[in-house]
Structure 1
Amino acid sequence: MTSQDTKHIKAFVSGHNSNYDVQLKINGKPVGKGDLSGLKIFNEEHPFKDQLKDMPPFVQDRIAFVLKEGENTIEIKFDRRTQNFNPPRKFSFGLRSSIEYIPFYYVSSEKESGTITSKFDLKFKKDKSEKEKVTLGNKDAAFIYSQRMDVFQATLNGKSLMYFGGTGGLTDLHLIKGTNTLEIKYVPGSEGEISYYIQTPNFTKKVIKKIPKDQVDELQIDVYELKE
């Protein structure tokens, strides 16, 4: 589990789940109705809640006030409803705040249907002077998230993972028992600060690099040894 610091939170659903029928419960309360696209999830005391009663029903159906400070429980039942993808995209589900693209909750599955239960923590910010806390997913997640770069390619134990060119995104890490070698190759494409994020059950890191003008188009290589 990890923490997301904020006074109030507005969360969006991310991941590959649009081709699945999904039944979602957060803290025991049903959220959404099969299709999670456009769903917005707030904390229980969010001030927007007072305005919801004046919204049309189709808007109310896409909004839920279920998150709370401290431990939150989540249950996800999913069932793939289309065979159009070849190979089919595996199921993934994330929750991210409106101020951060990195999910504060993330899971994925190779199965076409199943049930996932898990927990995550939320810590609401009390004082505006407190610094924002970077959130890198629930503790049982394993992924890399990169910001936009000209080239971003990760290799895990000699196997190439998803390639990103001119964009950023999230890639699952399927770790094996023992030591895993993660190699990240990237071409920044811009001068200044660039970053990517690594999350595993035993390792969490936000990598920040300052790229000088003469290295904008140079290939960079970082290597990590991850224990599982």
Structure 2
Amino acid sequence: MGDNRRVPMTDLIQTVLIYALPVLFAITVHEAAHGYAARHFGDNTALMMGRITLNPLKHIDPVGTVLMPLLLYFATSGAFLFGYAKPVPVNFSQLRHPKRDMIWVALAGPASNFIQAIGWALLLVALVATGTQERFFLEMARAGIAVNLVMWAFNLFPLPPLDGGRILVGLLPWKQAHFLSRIEPYGFFIVLALVVAGVVGALWLRPLMALGYSAINLMLSPLVALLR
């Protein structure tokens, strides 16, 4: 838990500027990836509703993407943040192989975030290699890695309506999959309660993010060694 000191306005503005671009990219590409995958596997719902787009305004939820994170930032002095975007509509019954294709459509979002995290890491390596010392850009690149790894790990939590829950529904036998899918209307509130209780952070987010950071370090270590 954070302390109760007021967050200086200058710190808030600086934090918003550093995180704005990474968050916008992370949310936009994540949601668009679901739409592209759904269209690829036979469902044009997102296409017909204009949601297969890289325009962030189509994916931002005023409450979940803007108001809630800002309120939580002030309330917890930046120690706890939570938010969400407008989910891309997918009609799973329109997919050519609904149970199987659901897995790929759900996986597309988190996969796009992991790829973006690698992209931001490459940018950070390039900035350091070229001797860039501008703190703003270095912090933005680090924020890009962190934001995308958080979205990657959080959305893989195995409870619907999160992507991990949809993946699990696609993998389980029909009986168990049907039981899990019935939780979806209450899933958001269950996940939120688990987040507030610290369960998701301690038992899921931190271990998975540590694994993500390690994987990216391993992938980029040959490039880093080459640039030294």
TM-score by length of 2: 0.32
TM-score by length of 1: 0.32
Between Structure 1 and Structure 2, the one with more strand by share is: 1
Between Structure 1 and Structure 2, the one with more helix by share is: 2
